[in-house]
Structure formats: C-alpha cells, structure tokens
C-alpha cells in the first residue's frame, strides 16, 4: 500500500523531469539522482512510522532543488518552465501538516516558505488553518498581524488578528506588548510620511471617539478603518498618500488613542500591575519621533499616580520622562539629566530601605546607555553620569542579601548584570562589572 502511494506520487513528477531533460536544465545523471532521491523520500513518508522530520527534510530538499533550477534557468536563458517547484513544495507541506497537524515545526516551515515566496493568498490560508488548531499560541497571532501590517499594509486585518488573539491569550503579557508595538510602529510610519509630505505642522489634538463594542473580551478601540483614511482604496490595502494623511489628521489614530485604549484594557486585565506599566512606558518611549508619544507616556504616568503612587515604577518613569526626547549632545541635556537625578534622589529619601535597592538598580539601567555615547557627551556631564552610576551601584551592593553565587558580588548586583545580559545589553553588563571593580578597589 505504501509503495503504491509512493509510485502514484512519483509518476506525477515524470513530465517535470522530461521537461528538465528537453531544456537541458539538468543532465541525465542529475535527473536520475533527482528521481532516486524523490523515490527514497516518498517511500519513507508513505511508510508506517514516518516522522515530521521526514517531511521537513523532503521539503528542504525540494526547496534547494527549486533554487538550483532557478539559477540554471537564469544562466541558460530559459525564460520559464511548465512546472513550478513552489507548487511541489506546497503539496509536500500540505501533506505534512495534514498528517501531523500538531507539529509546530512543520507549520513554521510552511509559513516561512510562503513568506519567502510572497505567496500571500496561500499564507492567509495557512494562518487561518494553524490558528484554528493552535489558538493558544500567542506568537502565531503576532506573526499573522505583522505579516498583514508590514507586508500587505493592511492594519485593519492586523488589528483583527491581535483582537482575536487577545480573546484566547489575554493573560499573555507579551501579546499585549506586541499589540502596542504594532500600533506604535504604525504611528511612526504615518509620522514619517507626514514629515516627508510637509504635513507635520502643529495641530489641535482630536478627541478620541470610541467605537462601542458588544464583546466584553474585545479591546474598545477608536474607530479607524481603511475607508476613513482612503475611501477609494482596494479592500485589504491601505495606501497612505497625501489626501489620506490629510483625512487621517482629524482621526483619533494620530493622537495615540489606540495605544491608550490598549494600555487601559491591559491594566484592567493585569490588575494595574506597575511593572507592566513600566514595560509599556519603555516600549512607547522608544518612539521619540511619534508626535503623540509624550501624551501616551503622560497617560501612563497619570495611571501610576492614581493606582501605584508609592511604586518604584512611577519614580523611574518620571525620571525617564524628564529626559524624553532630549539628545545627548543638545544644550537641554544637562538640565534634563539634573531633573532626572533630582527626581530619583528625592524619591529615595522618601522610600523604604527595602525599595531603595530596587530603585538604584533601575537608575543604573537608565543611565548606562548615555555613558556608551561618551564621544557625544560633555566631559562634565560624563563625570556626573559616572559618579551617579557608581553611587547607585554602591547602594545596590550594600543592600541586604540572603545568598550569593560569588562571595564578592551581592545578589542585587548579580541580578542586575544577568538582567542586562538577558536583554541583549552585554556592553552595559560589562560596564557594571568594571564600575563595581573600581568601587571595590577603593
């Protein structure tokens, strides 16, 4: 039975191999080797006890073969062939995902190949099928939303994927963060295009009119559709041109209303957790060029003031806001740095001893990136930054600890170093170790 299935599928490849021979894309020995290899794969995957890895290897072989075929055709001047390697690979991956529906490795290989080949219609079907099977895989919702937002320029569908993802994975913090990132990236793109078109002049902020939703699991977002931005645009494509941007200027999107709505819903979901609010603050603060970013950051601060007035997160967010949008080499930077340090110092004097070490660690994390731009920093400013970092590290080192992996390095400092490394800030981690060594040497 297995051999009959294998023979059936192998017979389908005969016309393709004949064409390769007629057009001299592959030599007779190469065609024989291709037929033999396909025969081995077909007998393996149709036999009892086949594994997902067998299908993955088969698909990879066909991908490499198709890549070689395209190069040969280009070199030999063969304009086109009747048979597409893409169709063959789709057929293999279809069979693989139907047989091993729960194997995420095969699904990801399928998604990556569709993306590489820009087969958007096929990819849409793959996303629909895999999300029906794996609705609790939050990363898939993000992947689908990013595809529609970044590749197809369809923010309406991207938001729809994120909204549905939150229905199934509303307890997953990373999904909320990625949703906010998606919206902030979209705002950054709009701001950049408005600047190019000379439309970034000051304007009054539009009121955030909300679109009422009947589903309590859905985030109540301001109503922004493709028709609002460009009525004549084809469905699924949001072409942002001059006229579209003028219409959008009066919409709530540019005021940051959508990120604010997502943040408020997230705070309700996570019971006003100040650490999550700080994560959102850091995410939004990275988008300095977005006009509405300061408004979003202020909203987060206002929320922390009302829900966590004594938290370290509120203090450090206030310090960060004092330096927001200020370039290191600008005249305003020393004053902004002074305001930042004053906020931290004032709060430390009012904080409990147990909270001082946490705040000191956050302060070090905040100040270290400015020291990495020492070529742009004034010498006096650099001295202030170094003295502040050493002072906060000393506070961190003197914090009470119950255990330690190394006798000379207290746990709070070690935790800070590990956190920096985990966040791809190895240079900052090394800087902390160097400063700590200089403090201990005294």
| Residue found by looking up tokens 């149709």 in the block | 46
pLDDT for position 146: 95
- Nearest Cα neighbor of 264 from 294, 316, 303, 208 is 303
One-letter-per-residue 3-state SS of the chain? CHHHHHHHHHHCCHHHHHHHHHCCCCCHHHHHHHHHHHHHHHHHHHCCCCCHHHHHHHHHHHHHHHHHHHHHHHHHCCCCCCCCHHHHHHHHHHHHHHHCCCCHHHHHHHHHHHHHHCCHHHHHHHHHHHHHHCCCCHHHHHHHHHHHHHHCCCHHHHHHHHHHHHHHCCCCHHHHHHHHHHHHHHHHHHHHHHHHCCCCCCCCCCCCCECCCCCCCCCCCECCCHHHHCCCCCCCCCCCCHHHHHHHCCCHHHHCHHHHHHHHHHHHHCCCCHHHHHHHHHHHHCCCCCCCHHHHHHHHHHHHHHHCCCCHHHHHHHHHHHHCCCCCCCCCHHHHHHHHHHHHHHHHHHCCHHHHHHHHHHHHHHHHHHHCCCCCCCHHHHHHHHHHHHHHHHHHHCCCCCCCCECCECHHHHHHHHHHHHCCCHHHHHHHHHHHHHHHHC
pLDDT at 412 over 90: no
**Better-scored residue on pLDDT, 122 or 198:** 122
Question: 28-46 vs 2-11: helix axis angle to the nearest 10?
Answer: 140
pLDDT for position 375: 66
pLDDT band at residue 227 using 50, 70 and 90 as cut-offs:
very low
- Under a CB-based contact definition with an 8 Å cutoff, are residues 166 and 179 in contact? yes
pLDDT band at residue 285 using 50, 70 and 90 as cut-offs:
very high
Question: Using CA atoms, how far apart are residues 297 and 292, in angstroms rounded to an integer?
Answer: 9
pLDDT for position 202: 47
**Span 113-121, average pLDDT:** 93
Question: Using CA atoms, how far apart are residues 251 and 209, in angstroms rounded to an integer?
Answer: 9
| Residue found by looking up tokens 């942002």 in the block | 240
Question: Using CA atoms, how far apart are residues 393 and 383, in angstroms rounded to an integer?
Answer: 15
pLDDT for position 423: 82
Rg of the chain in Å (alpha carbons): 28
Question: 155-168 vs 138-146: helix axis angle to the nearest 10?
Answer: 180
Question: Using CA atoms, how far apart are residues 360 and 432, in angstroms rounded to an integer?
Answer: 13
pLDDT band at residue 246 using 50, 70 and 90 as cut-offs:
low
Question: Using CA atoms, how far apart are residues 107 and 113, in angstroms rounded to an integer?
Answer: 10
CA angle 225, 231, 235 (to 5 degrees): 70
- Under a CB-based contact definition with an 8 Å cutoff, are residues 92 and 55 in contact? yes
- Using CA atoms, how far residue 4 sits from 35, 38, 42, 43, 399, in Å, is 16, 14, 10, 9, 73
pLDDT band at residue 395 using 50, 70 and 90 as cut-offs:
confident
pLDDT at 40 over 80: yes
pLDDT at 253 over 90: no
pLDDT for position 429: 84
Question: Using CA atoms, how far apart are residues 389 and 433, in angstroms rounded to an integer?
Answer: 12
**Better-scored residue on pLDDT, 139 or 353:** 139
pLDDT for position 219: 66
- Under a CB-based contact definition with an 8 Å cutoff, are residues 358 and 413 in contact? no
- Under a CB-based contact definition with an 8 Å cutoff, are residues 16 and 87 in contact? no
- Under a CB-based contact definition with an 8 Å cutoff, are residues 90 and 123 in contact? no
**Span 247-265, average pLDDT:** 79
**Better-scored residue on pLDDT, 259 or 310:** 259
Q: How many C-beta atoms lie closer than 10 Å to residue 41's C-beta?
A: 21
- Nearest Cα neighbor of 175 from 304, 291, 90, 276 is 276
One-letter-per-residue 3-state SS of 57-110? HHHHHHHHHHHHHHHHHHHHCCCCCCCCHHHHHHHHHHHHHHHCCCCHHHHHHH
Token digits for 393?
């590290």
CA neighbours closer than 13 Å in the CB half-sphere of residue 364: 31
**Span 180-197, average pLDDT:** 88
Predicted TM-score (pTM) of this structure: 0.80
pLDDT band at residue 404 using 50, 70 and 90 as cut-offs:
very low
Question: Which of 5-14, 112-121, 167-176, 230-239 has the weakest average pLDDT?
Answer: 230-239
């Amino acid at each position: 039975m297995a051999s009959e299935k294998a023979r059936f599928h192998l017979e389908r490849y005969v016309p393709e191999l004949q064409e390769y021979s007629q057009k001299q894309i592959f030599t007779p020995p190469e065609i024989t080797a291709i037929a033999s290899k396909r025969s081995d794969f077909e007998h393996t995957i149709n036999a009892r006890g086949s594994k997902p890895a067998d299908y993955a290897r088969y698909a990879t072989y066909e991908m490499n073969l198709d890549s070689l075929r395209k190069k040969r055709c280009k070199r030999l001047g063969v304009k086109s062939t009747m048979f597409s390697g893409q169709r063959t690979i789709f057929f293999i991956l279809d069979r693989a995902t139907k047989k091993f529906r729960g194997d995420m490795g095969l699904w990801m290989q399928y998604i990556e190949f569709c993306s590489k080949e820009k087969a958007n219609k096929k990819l849409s079907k793959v996303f629909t099928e895999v999300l029906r099977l794996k609705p609790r895989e939050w990363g898939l919702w993000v992947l689908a939303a990013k595809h529609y937002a970044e590749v197809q320029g369809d923010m309406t569908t991207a938001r729809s994927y994120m909204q549905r993802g939150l229905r199934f994975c509303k307890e997953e913090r990373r999904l909320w963060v990625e949703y906010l990132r998606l919206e902030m990236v979209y705002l950054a793109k709009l701001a950049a295009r408005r600047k190019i078109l000379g439309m970034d002049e000051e304007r009054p902020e539009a009121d955030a009119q909300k679109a009422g939703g009947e589903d309590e699991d859905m985030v109540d977002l301001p109503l922004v559709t493709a028709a609002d931005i460009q009525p004549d645009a084809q469905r699924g494509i949001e072409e942002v041109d001059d006229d579209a941007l003028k219409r959008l200027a009066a919409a709530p999107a540019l005021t940051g209303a959508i990120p604010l709505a997502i943040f408020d819903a997230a705070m309700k979901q996570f019971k006003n957790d100040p650490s999550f609010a700080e994560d959102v603050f850091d995410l939004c603060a990275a988008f300095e060029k977005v006009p509405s970013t300061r408004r979003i950051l202020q909203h987060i601060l206002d929320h922390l003031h009302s829900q966590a007035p004594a938290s370290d997160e509120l203090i450090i967010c206030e310090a960060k806001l004092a330096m927001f949008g200020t370039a290191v080499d600008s005249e305003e930077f020393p004053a902004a740095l002074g305001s930042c340090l004053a906020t931290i110092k004032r709060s430390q004097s009012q904080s409990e001893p147990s909270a001082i070490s946490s705040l000191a660690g956050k302060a070090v994390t905040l100040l270290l990136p400015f020291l990495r731009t020492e070529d742009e920093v004034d010498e006096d400013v650099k001295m202030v930054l170094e003295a502040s970092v050493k002072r906060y590290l000393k506070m961190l080192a003197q914090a009470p600890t119950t255990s330690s992996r190394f006798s000379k390095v207290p746990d709070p400092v070690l935790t800070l170093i590990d956190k920096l490394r985990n966040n791809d800030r190895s240079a900052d981690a090394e800087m902390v170790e160097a400063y700590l060594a200089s403090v201990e040497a005294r």
